[in-house]
């Protein structure tokens, strides 16, 4: 411990006294001159290349006109900057906005996002509903697979027919229990595979002769529900659904469990923000990781529905703690002009997690084994404590400048950039205005923010709803989940190519329109196409997933650029809450079964119509492409005015 303290002191002393360079045989790659820093981070975008100026060179009057330039890294030019009011973003720009150091941190916490995605969509498989029917009363060894002619006869006289030449999933003939009571010994040692003669049954004289006229089993007495089921094990060996019988009258219980996961996410998004602001990003991230491993391990042994609800809720709390804190930590290490890349990159990691889940679930058909593997995949992240730094921005906000110096010094060495002067004493740390003050400041922003909040809710509801609905689309659920992950990645690639060309508003509206039209159109193949044409509905659902994945990526960036700096964090937090509300609603829509031939399309139609509404609403918002980020409430208001009146600065 003493050696660690001495090493820390040596690093700090080295930072304050002498410049550091990764390669002593090479000249300094960059110099951060703090006497002339720009007042705002926006001035970073106005920098241009020029000749390198030595630190000890005397400035001339001709240098005044270039005093606002920002020094670039490596062999690029260094222009004097104003020192007063220097921002943290300016320091990041000079250190390398997305250098090797930031990339390492991003990849590490990005893999934590993969684990988050695995567990977010784990219920697709652990709460899956296999084919099932009522168990034959008093027969303990009844199975879904027909074992013999006798077994087939017992099933036929007990279970009413269902759709598509199958048995009813939830009903049994009312008289079946009374007659099968005489055959209770069939469940205790009697082999259903051997007998084929009805004369071997006790009470067969009451059942009828060889003409199979079961007079005493009066089917006209109707059907009734049951409390014991048998399940098809060809697709899933077991699931939480089969363990707890969450089918038929208890079918809504699955939606409750998934809702509790989203409720936990809602609390986790707020709780993790509080913990990370008070105790630091690193403490909040590691606390969430440790808690997540324990909760997911405990869920593998759950035997009670109430306990399941509690653990699902805690899982949601820990998952959002991991995701939100790692995302914030990564972005706080990246310069302002490069934040699009890690922002989109996190969504790519999320999609990769969905695809990895499908692969793991394909080989592990037992829900307990799948749960344990997902917990094990999170364990390596516990070693992050020795590799993940604290956020320098947070350290500065807490007055811990010396600790921030050490981290920035390490960043400079890894990025091959040299720091020569003490820059942190001149940094400004801005505080946010509470979101509720927008109602006092101006009412013009209220409607704009309500559109963003509604858009966020629809994006989350549709995104998670389509993902959870993967098992009911038809075809292989494993293939469907992989295809949905691929749709996410494809949409994100398109966003990277078009976001800075088409603009946020238009591209976002197009994404919502694609998702809305595709989801709504699934009603037609479900209602009118033959059974061999149902692949069309799967294709439309995938197109809807493609559209909503792109919409989610755009609305995240669009919202951050619409909100002024003084309330950006609180407004993004409110947007996240609205997104979580959409996620809470999603399981109930995804698991909806209204009956009838069009029941499979009803969830998709419910997802599609609001997306079309959002498409129209987004066109009412101002474009943010190539506009300076609004710093104040008035800047945000000006963004909505006509071009000739707006205070607009193209990048």
Q: What's the pLDDT score for residue 317?
A: 93
Cβ atoms within 10 Å of 145's Cβ, excluding its own: 9
What pTM does this model have? 0.75
Q: CA-based angle 432:326:319, to the nearest 5?
A: 105
Q: What's the pLDDT score for residue 219?
A: 59
Residue-wise pLDDT for 307-331, tens only, equals 999 999 999 999 988 988 888 888 7
HSE-CB of 421 using CA atoms within 13 angstroms: 16
Q: Identify whether the C-beta of residue 343 lies closer than 8 Å to the C-beta of residue 309.
A: no
d(CA 417, CA 28): 7
Q: Identify whether the C-beta of residue 321 lies closer than 8 Å to the C-beta of residue 268.
A: yes
Residue closest to 44 by CA, chosen among 83, 81, 84: 81
Q: Identify whether the C-beta of residue 448 lies closer than 8 Å to the C-beta of residue 317.
A: no
In sequence order, what are the beta bridge partners of 238? 366
Residue closest to 122 by CA, chosen among 373, 322, 318, 345: 373
In sequence order, what are the beta bridge partners of 31? 418
**477-502 vs 504-521: helix crossing angle, rounded to 10:** 150
Where does residue 458 rank: exposed (0-12), middle (13-18), buried (19+ CB within 10 A)? buried
Strand ranges (DSSP E) for 223-351?
A: 223-225, 229-231
Q: Identify whether the C-beta of residue 589 lies closer than 8 Å to the C-beta of residue 606.
A: yes
Q: DSSP character for 32?
A: -
d(CA 571, CA 507): 22
Q: What's the pLDDT score for residue 292?
A: 93
Q: Is 147 helix (H, G, I), strand (E, B) or coil?
A: coil
Strand ranges (DSSP E) for 85-146?
A: 86-87, 132-134
Q: Identify whether the C-beta of residue 116 lies closer than 8 Å to the C-beta of residue 319.
A: yes
Residue closest to 584 by CA, chosen among 235, 256, 306, 135: 256
Residue 134 φ/ψ, nearest 5 degrees: -65, 140
Q: What's the pLDDT score for residue 10?
A: 54
Q: Is 468 helix (H, G, I), strand (E, B) or coil?
A: helix
d(CA 420, CA 543): 53
Residue closest to 41 by CA, chosen among 609, 565, 395: 565
Q: DSSP character for 542?
A: H
Strand ranges (DSSP E) for 456-504?
A: none
Residue closest to 89 by CA, chosen among 47, 40, 46: 40
Cα of first residue to Cα of last residue in the chain, in angstroms, is 49
Q: What's the pLDDT score for residue 87?
A: 67
d(CA 359, CA 377): 14
d(CA 99, CA 405): 17
Residue closest to 503 by CA, chosen among 305, 650, 608, 350: 650
Q: CA-based angle 579:580:582, to the nearest 5?
A: 65
d(CA 89, CA 331): 11
CB crowding 278-314: b at 16 or more within 10 Å, else e: eebbbebbbbbbbbbbebbbbbbebeebeebbbbbbb
Q: Which residues of the chain have pLDDT under 50?
A: 1-2, 4-5, 8, 12, 15-85, 181-190, 192, 194-216, 594-598, 644-651
d(CA 356, CA 115): 10
d(CA 468, CA 607): 12
Q: Identify whether the C-beta of residue 52 lies closer than 8 Å to the C-beta of residue 77.
A: yes
**568-590 vs 602-618: helix crossing angle, rounded to 10:** 160
Q: What's the pLDDT score for residue 646?
A: 42
Q: Identify whether the C-beta of residue 613 lies closer than 8 Å to the C-beta of residue 589.
A: no
Q: What's the pLDDT score for residue 369?
A: 93
Pairing outcome for strands 86-87 and 427-428: parallel
Q: Is 203 helix (H, G, I), strand (E, B) or coil?
A: coil
Q: What's the pLDDT score for residue 72?
A: 38
d(CA 137, CA 454): 50
């Amino acid at each position: 411990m003493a050696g660690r303290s001495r090493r820390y002191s040596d690093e700090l002393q080295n930072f304050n006294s002498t410049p550091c360079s990764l390669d002593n045989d090479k000249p300094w790659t960059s110099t951060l001159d703090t006497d002339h820093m720009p007042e705002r981070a926006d001035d970073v975008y106005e920098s241009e290349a020029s000749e390198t100026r030595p630190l000890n060179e005397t400035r001339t009057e001709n240098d005044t006109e270039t005093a606002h330039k920002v020094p670039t890294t490596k062999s690029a030019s260094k222009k004097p900057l104003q020192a007063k009011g220097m921002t943290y973003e300016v320091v990041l720009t000079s250190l390398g906005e997305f250098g090797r150091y930031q990339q390492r941190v991003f990849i590490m916490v990005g893999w934590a996002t993969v684990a988050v995605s695995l567990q977010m969509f784990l219920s697709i498989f652990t709460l899956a509903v296999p084919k099932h029917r009522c168990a034959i009363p008093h027969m303990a060894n009844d199975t879904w697979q027909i074992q013999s002619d006798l077994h087939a006869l017992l099933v036929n006289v007990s279970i009413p027919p269902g759709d598509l030449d199958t048995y009813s999933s939830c009903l049994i003939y009312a008289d079946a229990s009374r007659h099968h009571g005489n055959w209770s010994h069939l469940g205790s040692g009697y082999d259903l595979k051997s007998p084929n003669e009805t004369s071997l049954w006790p009470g067969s004289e009451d059942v009828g002769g060889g003409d199979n006229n079961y007079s005493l089993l009066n089917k006209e007495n109707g059907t009734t529900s049951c409390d014991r089921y048998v399940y098809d094990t060809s697709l899933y060996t077991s699931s939480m659904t089969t363990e707890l019988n969450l089918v038929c009258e208890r079918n809504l219980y699955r939606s409750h469990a998934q809702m509790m996961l989203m409720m936990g996410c809602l609390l986790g998004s707020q709780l993790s923000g509080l913990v990370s602001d008070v105790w630091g990003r690193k403490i909040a991230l590691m606390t969430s990781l440790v808690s997540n491993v324990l909760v997911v391990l405990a869920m593998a042994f759950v035997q009670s529905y109430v306990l399941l609800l509690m653990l699902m809720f805690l899982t949601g709390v820990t998952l959002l703690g991991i995701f939100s804190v790692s995302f914030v930590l990564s972005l706080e290490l990246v310069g302002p002009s490069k934040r699009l890349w890690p922002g989109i990159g996190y969504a790519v990691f999320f999609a990769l997690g969905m695809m990895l889940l499908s692969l793991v679930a394909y080989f592990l058909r037992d829900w307990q084994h799948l749960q344990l593997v997902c917990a094990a995949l999170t364990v390596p992240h516990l070693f992050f404590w020795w590799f993940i730094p604290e956020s320098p921005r947070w350290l500065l906000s807490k007055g811990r400048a010396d600790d921030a110096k050490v981290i920035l010094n390490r960043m400079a060495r890894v990025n091959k950039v040299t720091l020569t002067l003490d820059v942190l004493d001149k940094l400004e740390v801005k505080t946010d205005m509470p979101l509720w003050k927008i109602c006092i400041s101006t009412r013009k922003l209220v409607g704009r923010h309500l559109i963003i909040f509604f858009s966020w809710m629809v994006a989350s509801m549709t995104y998670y709803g389509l993902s959870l609905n993967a098992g009911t689309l038809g075809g292989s659920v494993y293939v469907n989940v992989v295809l949905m992950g691929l749709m996410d990645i494809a949409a994100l690639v398109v966003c990277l190519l078009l976001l800075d060309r088409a603009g946020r508003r238009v591209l976002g509206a197009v994404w919502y329109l694609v998702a809305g039209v595709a989801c709504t159109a699934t009603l037609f193949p479900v209602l009118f196409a033959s059974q061999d044409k149902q692949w069309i509905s799967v294709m439309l659902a995938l197109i809807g997933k493609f559209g909503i994945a792109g919409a989610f990526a755009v609305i995240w960036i669009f919202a951050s650029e619409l909100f002024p700096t003084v309330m950006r964090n609180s407004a993004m937090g409110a947007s996240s809450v609205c997104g979580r509300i959409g996620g809470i609603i999603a399981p109930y829509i995804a698991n909806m079964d209204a009956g009838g031939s069009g029941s499979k399309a009803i969830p998709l139609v419910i997802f599609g119509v609001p997306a079309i509404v959002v498409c129209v609403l987004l066109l009412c918002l101002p474009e943010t492409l190539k506009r300076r980020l609004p710093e104040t409430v008035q800047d945000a208001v000006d963004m909505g005015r006509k071009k000739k009146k707006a205070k607009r600065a193209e990048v």
